[in-house]
Structure 1
Amino acid sequence: MPRGQKSKRLQGADETESLRGDQAAAAAAEECPTSPVSGGSPPSCPAPAPSPGSAPPDPLTRKAHMLVQFLLGKYKMGECITRAEMLKAVKKKYKEQFSEILRRASEHMELVFGLEVKEVDPGNHFYALITMLDLPSEGSLTSDRSVPKTGLLTNILAVICLKGNRATEEEVWESLGVLGVYAGRRHAIFGEPKRLIINDLVQPEYLEYRQVPGSDPPRYEFLWGPRAHAETTEMKVLEITARDKINETVPRAFPELYEEALRETATS
């Protein structure tokens, strides 16, 4: 399979960047780590505002961020959502712009948290949050609703696919940085992300984390774990990746990778 292919930023990167700036501000009050973590930038408290040179978020992006927080609260409670509730969360004076706000929030929910905002009853405008990776309900990622983790898992699995069935720790953190998730920097939702990845993705065997053979000093890499192979497929991960516009393309743009995923699907 081809190696070294770079994943591109999603089409709405500016919107995600603005949401990330808001999130960084929210995380500023969190405790900062005191020791470095492999693969990340030097530990330091995030600035209480977007980085210098970045434009402040526009009003619709701020409202989209508010809607994301509202939707995450609903997810934790396991509740359905109505359009009226969402409109109330962003203030009714934004009724005319609500469709755009919902679009931005939905993109963010899919990309970062792996949750689709789906209208399940158009007549009554009821919505639900659907896990996009569709892992078995008894799996550790779906039984614990406190933190939606399938978005992180999907992104890491996709990077591993694109890097030839293995991705270095540096490559994984580079990809997660697009989502505003950095090693050694506490995240407002995920907490300390490396701890979450090791405890909730590596230990349950969705991912394998090992030393790169022959590396000195030691370097580490991620591979698909046996549970990921059992519960999902490369094809599904690639479809979600393309849908989220991370690569701004469809899986057929990676012919060898796509063919291998098709073979895996045919033999499963």
Structure 2
Amino acid sequence: MAHSRTEKSKVPASQKKRNRTNEDDDEPDSSKLSSRVQCAEQKISPKQLEQKVSEVIQYILTVDQKKIPIKKSDISKNVLKDHRYLINTVMKMVTKKMNEVFGMDLVEIDSKLHSFILVNKIPNAGEALADSANKKLGLLMILLSIIFMKGGVLKCAKLWYVLKKFGIDQSTHHIVFGDVKKLIMEEFVRQKYLQCSRVPHTDVPEFEFRWGARAECEVPKMKVLEFTAKMYRNAPTDWSSQYKEAVEAQS
């Protein structure tokens, strides 16, 4: 009888094999991905890896010329291709090289879409926006200063009202800026300098503007306040709440 009980407690080898197979199928996705990454890394030499890093950097610099956010998925699809499982390794190397060689930070602005922008680390980069020679960026500086001085958010109608004082009318083709409405509501928004969102709970569609993710990263609030003070021939400290916010943003 004891012999019979022992036989019943044994698990057939074929069953054990099936159990192991099922356990393998239940392996977490992260582990599987890690294994695939290791396999991919074994199939590429250090020289090839450096080449991929250089290609990604060139791609990022090219896309950034249009001031459009760079998507991780696009890098995998358009640059890495068959080596797309190296994306995390390559992006770490790219981020380090962009910082050390170009003096630029690769900043993630959308964790869901995994999109990035390049931010110049040079402290005086914000001054370029105030350069009157660059007309579009001069207009952008005016927009950012208006929004900042109004508490960080401004309704669309109010923005156009203020811009009219600068001789800029959305219904009129501007001699320098051309289609101003398209420039502000499409180009600057697409480039993430501005954020435009609909005001909730309104019968008639209303929109409001805020600083976009790129502006938050690239443009020092103190530079904007100094720009505004210069326009009005005042001192930055004349606006106490904005000055306090600008100082806090520097720390």
TM-score normalized by the length of structure 2:
0.46
Higher helix share: 2
Q: Which has the larger radius of gyration?
A: 2
If asked which structure has higher relative contact order (CA below 8 Å, sep 6+), I would say 1
